Structure 1
Amino acid sequence: MPSKKINIVLITITLAYPVSAISDYLFTAPPRETPQKGIETYQPIADYLSKSTGEKFIYRQPANWVEYSRGIQNNEYDLVFDGPHFVSWRIQYTQHSVLSKLPQLHVWRVIARSDANDIQTLDDLVGKKICAPKSPNFGMLTMMSHYSNPAREPVHIITKGWKEGFDSVVQGICVAAVMPKTNHRKFDPLLEKTRAIHTHLPYPNQAFTVSPSVPPHLQSKITRLLLSDKGQAAMSKLRDRFSHGANLISAENEEYEGISMVLSRADNFKSAVK
């Protein structure tokens, strides 16, 4: 390659990532989206942090939940955005620190048809079909954590979305389904077709955590950047999807204490939850 072209390449790299950059930090989120949607949602965040810190943040989407779960347990990720149960596990077992979270509380509801008079409590679901996303979905794990005896628990029917679970209850495919309270209100605002038989206590919402591999001063800087106006703008697609556009807010590790216990029901985490 001619020297002129080499110089141009070096200048381009220097402008994109200043010479002070000394580390590559791996940023990830659960494989809930298609690869393209993942890039659209999370790559702007990685680009913003790289530009603002002088370090290099690389977004990588795991191929599947097995790879994602293994990566979490092996502490392969430096910056992660995901659900409260994973946040709690990383804080407890890999010394991650929470940086910022979605502002709304996470409230799960278990619903049944309005005319299902024999279904009044979670105990009435033993041996009956319930609709929920597959493990390690937080709602599914939260509901199933109510049952301590594998011989006396509901039959889990896997659904791909909250609306599918709701429709399955209305159509009689499942006796009950778990979903966020906000989704239940959206699907049946007047409670004409369904009713709640159980509402779980509220949890803190999805959050960003950072690993000990990121120096404390950089952790503080990332927090400030994410909560700034420019940071909120970089997270616009994330906010549109998960918080109806509301800004993320600061968070504390203590808020997530104990939530990881629901992962004892997750196939890829059973041996990792003590």
Structure 2
Amino acid sequence: MAPGSKAEGRSVSTPDGTTRWLRRLPATLSCLVLALASVTGLLPARALADTYTFVVQPILPPAQTRKAFQPLADYLSRQTGHEIRLVTAVNFLAYWARMKRGDYDLILDAAHFTDWRVKNLGYVVLAKIPDTVSYSLVTAEDTLVLEPSELIGKPVATIGSPSLGAVRLAQMFPNPLRQPVTVEVDNSRDAIEAVLKGRAMGAIVPSPLVGAFPLNVVTTTEPVPHIGFSASPEVPEAVRKALRKALVEADRTPDGQAMLKAINFPRFVAADEKVYDGYAKLLEGIWGY
């Protein structure tokens, strides 16, 4: 038989490793086709999508945070073509520690945190919830307290530091020797419940909650801009633009309106870093500031 011919089930033998090259040819061609499809846009958009972590300040326990804000993450994923993955923090100390390291790509949280990240980590503000928010120091309706000083040495419920409520409470009691006894709770509704059930004499809670419960308002803080949505400088500009567009136009589309109803906010409005300028000072004196 001639050299290289097929006999008795033996494979063809060719010089210089050509057989191995031929065996790899289909896989090589497949890679080339995929690369060409990526460049020419023939692959679905999701095949080229990136994943971005999204966190909301932990005013609720992790499970409740997921339930409350997963609709926003899902909406942004649909609108941008990227995976916006909601992550949670167990409390404000854990949140503060990770936030300072720049661990989160996208964040929805209070004015003091937003300004701190802008100034220290280069985050970009994309949008915010309209208007302002203040906090009220409250007691039970039948507990007549007129001044914060009357609560020195008394139990006062608050979400953990450095939440905006805890920061505002600390401002009311600047003397470290004349403080209330803080009762840390998971969220503002738990703080109100602690007052109504007698576990705390007072609580610091967002002012909009006060009218729904039988409470006595001791004092109300100065308002600050409502929570803002900001992005890490690591998030590409094109993605930031897509996120901003999706947020500020949400109230104009059925998909966006359904999301807003699910997260219980009226709408998002455009915002920039100037809106929050100066509020990082509220964190002065906080561990790690």
Q: Does TM-score exceed 0.5, indicating one fold?
A: yes
Please, what TM-score do these two structures have when normalized by structure 1? Answer: 0.76
Measure, in 1, the Cα distance between the counterparts of 2:80 and 2:173: 45
Please, what TM-score do these two structures have when normalized by structure 2? Answer: 0.72
Does 2:72 match 1:45?
Answer: no
Measure, in 1, the Cα distance between the counterparts of 2:283 and 2:275: 17
Q: Which residue of 2 aligns with 1:222?
A: 243
Measure, in 2, the Cα distance between the counterparts of 1:226 and 1:232: 13
Q: Which amino acid aligns with 1:75?
A: G
Q: Which amino acid aligns with 2:100?
A: Q
Preserved CA contact (<8 Å) 1:17 1:50: no
Per the alignment, do residues 29 and 236 of structure 1 end up closer, same or farther by CA in structure 2, a change over 3 Å counting? farther
Q: Which amino acid aligns with 1:156?
A: T
Measure, in 2, the Cα distance between the counterparts of 1:153 and 1:239: 40
Q: Which residue of 1 aligns with 2:228?
A: 207
Q: Which amino acid aligns with 1:173?
A: R
- How big is each residue's C-alpha offset from its partner over 1:129-174, in whole Å with a ceiling of 9 and x where there is no partner? 1112223332122122222222211110123343332233234332
Per the alignment, do residues 47 and 100 of structure 1 end up closer, same or farther by CA in structure 2, a change over 3 Å counting? same
Q: Which residue of 1 aligns with 2:11?
A: none
Measure, in 1, the Cα distance between the counterparts of 2:186 and 2:152: 22
Measure, in 1, the Cα distance between the counterparts of 2:261 and 2:283: 26
Does 2:138 match 1:111?
Answer: yes
Q: Which residue of 1 aligns with 2:162?
A: 136
Preserved CA contact (<8 Å) 2:72 2:263: no
Does 2:35 match 1:15?
Answer: no
Q: Secondary structure at the match of 2:156?
A: strand
**1:26 pairs with one of 53, 58, 63:** 53
Matches within 5 A, 1:28-177: 28-31=55-58, 32=60, 33-34=62-63, 37=67, 40-51=70-81, 56-65=82-91, 66-117=93-144, 119-177=145-203
- How big is each residue's C-alpha offset from its partner over 1:170-208, in whole Å with a ceiling of 9 and x where there is no partner? 3433221111111110113xxxxx321101111111111
Higher relative contact order (CA 8 A, sep 6+): 1
Measure, in 1, the Cα distance between the counterparts of 2:275 and 2:198: 38
Q: Which amino acid aligns with 1:251?
A: A
Preserved CA contact (<8 Å) 2:68 2:263: no
**2:263 pairs with one of 241, 244, 262:** 241
Unaligned runs of 5+ in 1: 189-193
Number of residue equivalences: 250
Measure, in 2, the Cα distance between the counterparts of 1:103 and 1:40: 20
Preserved CA contact (<8 Å) 1:112 1:176: yes
- How big is each residue's C-alpha offset from its partner over 1:91-125, in whole Å with a ceiling of 9 and x where there is no partner? 121121211111142121111234434x2112222
Matches within 5 A, 1:254-273: 254-264=274-284, 266=286, 270-271=287-288, 273=289
Q: Secondary structure at the match of 2:224?
A: coil
Q: Which amino acid aligns with 2:171?
A: S
Measure, in 1, the Cα distance between the counterparts of 2:184 and 2:211: 22
Q: Secondary structure at the match of 2:174?
A: coil
Alignment identity in percent?
22
Q: Which residue of 2 aligns with 1:180?
A: 206
1:239: Cα distance to partner?
A: 5.2
Preserved CA contact (<8 Å) 2:54 2:85: yes
Per the alignment, do residues 242 and 259 of structure 1 end up closer, same or farther by CA in structure 2, a change over 3 Å counting? farther
Q: Which residue of 1 aligns with 2:216?
A: 195
- Could you say what the CA RMSD is over the residues aligned between the two structures, in angstroms? 3.3
1:49: Cα distance to partner?
A: 4.2
- How big is each residue's C-alpha offset from its partner over 1:60-112, in whole Å with a ceiling of 9 and x where there is no partner? 41453354323311112222122222212111211212111111421211112
Unaligned runs of 5+ in 2: 1-25
Q: Secondary structure at the match of 1:130?
A: strand
Q: Secondary structure at the match of 2:136?
A: strand
Preserved CA contact (<8 Å) 1:100 1:250: yes
Q: Which amino acid aligns with 2:105?
A: D
Measure, in 1, the Cα distance between the counterparts of 2:181 and 2:154: 6
